[in-house]
C-alpha cells in the first residue's frame, strides 16, 4: 500500500512502488578488486539481488510532478505498478504536468511510454542533458554491448513521443520552484538527484546513487555493472552520502524502500528509516 504523503517545503511527497528488480549477484562489483568483491558477496549472503523499484509523486499548488516514471508494461508483470498506485490515489494520467527523470534507464523512464503514445499526454519531461546527448549518440551506441543499449532506444522514443515537451537540465540550476538539480554522474553520465528544499529538512531523491542501501552505504566502493562509469559512480556515491549526512537531508531514490537519514558509521555510512 502507498504510504501517506510527507511534506517537504512546498511539496507533498508520496513514494510510489513500481516493482522489484531481480538480478544475479554476478552484477555486483567492487572498486578494490576481486577479493573485496567476494567479501561483499559474503556480506550480502543471498543467491540473488532483489531491488525495489520506486518513483515519486509530488504535489504543490501548481499541480502534480513525478520524479521518474516507473517501468510501465515493458518489463512484464513484476513492474509497472506505479500506474495502479497513481490510479488508486485518484490521479488521471493527464493530470501529471511535469516529470523529472533522474536518468534514462528503463525502470525510471519506460513508464513514460504507452506503446507508441505518451502515457502522460500533457506532461513536460525534464531530462539530464548529458543523458540525452550520450544516449542520442550513434557512435556511443555502436560501442555499447547489445544488452546495455536500453537507454539509446529510450532517448529516441522519448524525443519522438514527447516532441517539443522534452527539456534538458544541467548544472546546479533550480529546475522547478523549490527543487534543485544535484549532479550524480557515474551510474549514467547525466544522472541527476532532485533536492526538494525544506527550511528544516530537505529531501534528496537520488536516482540510482545506491541500489543496495545497506551494503553500498557501509561500503560505497560496491557498485553494480549497470554503472556506466564505475569509478565516477563510486566518487558520486561517497560524496553524496557525505553531503547528505552533513546537511541532515532525508534521502530516497529509485531503489530505496522509504525515507532515510544518512549517518556516518566507521569508514562508511548507514541509512536509517526516518
Ligand atoms: Zn534504477
Condensed to tens digits (0 to 9), the pLDDT of residues 130-153 reads 999 999 999 999 998 888 899 999
DSSP 200: S
- Residue 74 Cα to ligand 1 midpoint, Å, equals 14
Distance 207 CA to ligand 1 centre (A): 7
pLDDT tens column, 85-138: 999 999 999 999 999 999 999 999 999 999 999 999 999 999 999 999 999 999
How far is the centre of ligand 1, averaged over its atoms, from the C-alpha of 63 (Å)?
Answer: 26
Q: Compute, in angstroms, the gap from residue 133 CA to the centroid of ligand 1.
A: 19
Res. 240: pLDDT tops 90: yes
Q: 68 C-alpha vs ligand 1 centroid, how far in Å? A: 10
Separation of 3 CA from ligand 1 center, angstroms? 21
Distance CA 67, CA 126 (A): 10
Mean pLDDT of the chain: 96
User: Is the pLDDT reported for residue 1 higher than 80?
Assistant: no
From ligand 1's centre to the CA of 107, what distance in Å?
5
Q: What is the 227 CA–ligand 1 centroid distance (Å)?
A: 10
In the reported structure, the alpha carbon of residue 40 is separated from the centroid of ligand 1 by a whole-number distance in angstroms of 20
Which residue has 522534452 as its cell numbers? 166
What spacing in Å lies between the alpha carbon of 102 and ligand 1's midpoint?
9
How many Å lie between the centroid of ligand 1 and the Cα of residue 224? 11
Q: Which three cell numbers stand for residue 31?
A: 572498486
Dist CA 39 CA 178 (whole Å): 42
> What's the pLDDT at 111?
98
172: three-class secondary structure by DSSP: coil
What separation in Å is there between the alpha carbon of 216 and the centre of ligand 1? Answer: 14
Which pLDDT belongs to residue 110?
Answer: 98
pTM: 0.97
- Tell the CATH topology of 6-273: Metallo-beta-lactamase; Chain A (3.60.15)
Query: What spacing in Å lies between the alpha carbon of 163 and ligand 1's midpoint?
Result: 24
Domain edges within the chain:
6-273
CA 117 from centroid of its chain's CA atoms: 23
Distance of CA 88 from the midpoint of ligand 1 (Å): 24
CA of 28 to the centre of ligand 1 (A): 14
Q: What is the pLDDT of residue 148?
A: 84
Residue 70 Cα to ligand 1 midpoint, Å, equals 9
Say if residues 8 and 72 touch (Cβ distance below 8 Å): no
> Residue 63 forms beta bridges with which residues?
60
What percent of the chain is modeled with pLDDT above 70? Answer: 100
User: In sequence order, what DSSP letters do the residues of the chain get, joined into one string?
Assistant: -PPPPEEETTEEEEEEEEEEEEEEGGGEEETT-HHHHHHHHHHH-SSEEEEEEEEEEEEETTEEEEES---TTTT-TTS-HHHHHHHHTT--GGGEEEEE-S-S-HHHHGGGEETTEESSTT-EEEEEHHHHHHTT-HHHHHTS-GGG-HHHHHHHHHHHHTTT-EEEE-TT-EEETTEEEEE-TTSSTT-EEEEE--SS--EEE-TTS-SSHHHHHH-TTEEETT-SSHHHHHHHHHHHHHHHHHHT-EEE-TT-SS-EEEEEETTEEEEEE-
Q: Are 134 and 177 in contact (CB under 8 A)?
A: no
CA 253 – ligand 1 centroid, Å:
9
Amino acid at each position: 500500500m502507498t504510504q501517506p504523503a510527507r511534506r517537504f517545503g512546498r511539496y507533498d511527497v508520496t513514494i510510489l512502488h513500481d516493482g522489484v528488480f531481480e538480478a544475479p549477484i554476478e552484477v555486483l562489483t567492487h572498486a578494490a578488486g576481486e577479493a573485496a568483491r567476494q567479501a561483499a558477496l559474503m556480506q550480502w549472503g543471498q543467491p540473488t539481488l532483489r531491488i525495489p523499484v520506486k518513483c515519486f509523486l509530488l504535489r504543490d499548488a501548481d499541480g502534480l510532478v513525478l520524479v521518474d516514471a516507473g517501468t510501465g508494461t515493458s518489463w512484464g508483470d513484476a513492474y509497472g505498478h506505479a500506474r495502479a498506485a497513481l490510479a488508486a490515489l485518484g490521479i488521471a494520467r493527464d493530470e501529471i504536468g511535469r516529470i523529472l527523470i533522474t536518468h534514462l534507464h528503463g525502470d525510471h523512464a519506460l513508464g513514460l511510454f504507452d506503446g507508441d503514445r505518451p502515457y502522460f499526454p500533457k506532461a513536460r519531461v525534464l531530462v539530464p542533458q548529458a543523458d540525452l546527448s550520450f544516449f542520442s549518440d550513434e557512435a556511443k551506441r555502436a560501442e555499447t554491448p547489445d544488452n546495455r543499449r536500453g537507454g539509446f532506444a529510450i532517448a529516441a522514443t522519448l524525443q519522438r513521443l514527447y516532441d517539443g515537451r522534452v527539456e534538458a537540465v544541467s548544472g546546479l540550476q533550480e529546475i522547478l520552484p523549490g527543487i534543485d538539480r544535484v549532479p550524480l554522474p557515474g551510474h549514467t553520465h547525466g544522472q541527476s538527484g532532485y533536492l526538494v528544499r525544506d527550511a528544516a529538512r530537505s529531501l534528496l531523491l537520488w536516482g540510482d546513487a545506491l541500489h543496495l542501501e545497506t551494503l553500498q552505504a557501509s561500503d560505497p566502493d560496491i557498485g553494480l555493472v549497470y554503472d556506466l562509469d564505475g569509478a565516477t559512480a563510486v566518487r558520486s556515491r561517497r560524496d553524496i552520502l557525505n553531503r547528505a549526512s552533513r546537511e541532515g537531508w532525508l534521502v530516497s531514490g529509485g531503489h530505496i524502500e522509504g525515507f532515510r537519514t544518512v549517518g556516518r558509521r566507521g569508514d562508511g555510512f548507514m541509512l536509517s528509516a526516518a
